[in-house]
């Protein structure tokens, strides 16, 4: 088990939807994100659905690039190829901190399949399966 504080993802502000890595343990990564009222995806006081999907994708990317053998490499660009079984039960608001866990379930060539879950105060608020395609090296 390893703990990390900094993230290595290709996204730049204002598109960053992960603040820090809490833990990388095997195929699972756990991240945190503090929702701010100036976030580009805020609408009517709530962080909207695209931000939650992006948070899961960026959590997966942070986990991939935080692997000890890859920590020094530049983060690879990834593209969401498919979203399956998306369920959003609740939207977070400003000053909420969401905790996201992503688990790598399958890998085939440059495609990776993750199951992601977002929690707010231990309540499951969103989940989905993401298929992410990484750029070739």
Whether the Cβ atoms of residue 17 and residue 55 lie closer than 8 Å to each other: yes
What total number of domains does the chain contain?
Answer: 1
Q: Is residue 123 part of a domain?
A: yes
Position 67 scores a pLDDT of 57
Query: What are φ and ψ of residue 57, in 5° steps?
Result: -65, -45
- The pTM of the whole model exceeds 0.85: yes
Which residue range is the domain that position 122 belongs to?
20-134
91 close to 113: Cβ distance less than 8 angstroms: no
CATH, residue 124:
3.10.129.10
- Gap between the Cα atoms of 56 and 62, Å rounded: 10
Q: Is 59 helix (H, G, I), strand (E, B) or coil?
A: helix
pLDDT at 84: 97
Q: Are 53 and 80 in contact (CB under 8 A)?
A: yes
- At residue 104, does pLDDT exceed 70? yes
Q: Residue 16 has which token pair?
A: 């960053």
Does some domain include residue 3? no
pLDDT digits (tens, 9 = 90+) for 38-79: 999 999 999 999 999 999 999 998 887 765 544 455 666 778
118 lies in some domain:
yes
């Amino acid at each position: 088990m390893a703990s990390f504080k900094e993230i290595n993802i290709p996204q730049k502000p204002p598109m960053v939807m992960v603040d820090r890595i809490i833990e990388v343990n095997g195929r699972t990564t756990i991240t945190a994100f503090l929702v701010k009222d100036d976030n580009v995806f805020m609408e009517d006081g709530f962080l909207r659905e695209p931000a939650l999907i992006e948070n899961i994708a960026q959590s997966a990317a942070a986990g991939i690039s935080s692997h000890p053998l890859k920590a020094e490499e530049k983060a690879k660009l990834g593209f969401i190829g498919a979203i399956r079984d998306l369920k959003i039960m609740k939207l977070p608001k400003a000053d909420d901190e969401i905790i996201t866990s992503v688990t790598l379930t399958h890998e085939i060539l440059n495609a990776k399949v993750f199951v992601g879950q977002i929690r707010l105060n231990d309540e499951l608020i969103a989940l989905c399966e993401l298929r992410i395609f990484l750029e070739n090296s």
